[in-house]
Amino acid sequence: MSHDIDISKAQQFIDNFQEANDGVFALLYNKDKIEKILNQKNCAGIRIYYALKQDGEKTLIIVGYDGSQKDLNANLSEFVAEYGIANIDPGSPLL
């Protein structure tokens, strides 16, 4: 399965999501945290869970997964990433 899409399709997907979700634009993830997740032993990639905080704020949770597509250390906070709504880059070609 290819994960590559062209910019116009990406823009349409983002527009669709924003229209359906009251202007939720983006989340920001720190490179160091993503690298820490990816550098775990046996990590084959990342899984991103859609999540909803107790106060109703939408977020995403990132964990690593292994070659069998099982989550790695999902219970260890140092290997799980979650950040709040990001500042938007008004110059982004995706907006």
Answer whether 62's CB lies under 8 Å from 37's CB. yes
Confidence of residue 43 (pLDDT cuts 50, 70, 90): very high
Dump pLDDT digits (tens) for 51-78. Answer: 887 888 777 888 888 999 988 876 666 6
Answer whether 19's CB lies under 8 Å from 67's CB. no
What pTM value is reported for the model?
0.70
User: Which one, of 66, 58, 59, 63, lies nearest residue 75 by Cα?
Assistant: 63
Answer whether 76's CB lies under 8 Å from 83's CB. no
The strands making up 71-72's β-sheet, listed across from edge to edge, are: 45-52, 58-65, 71-72
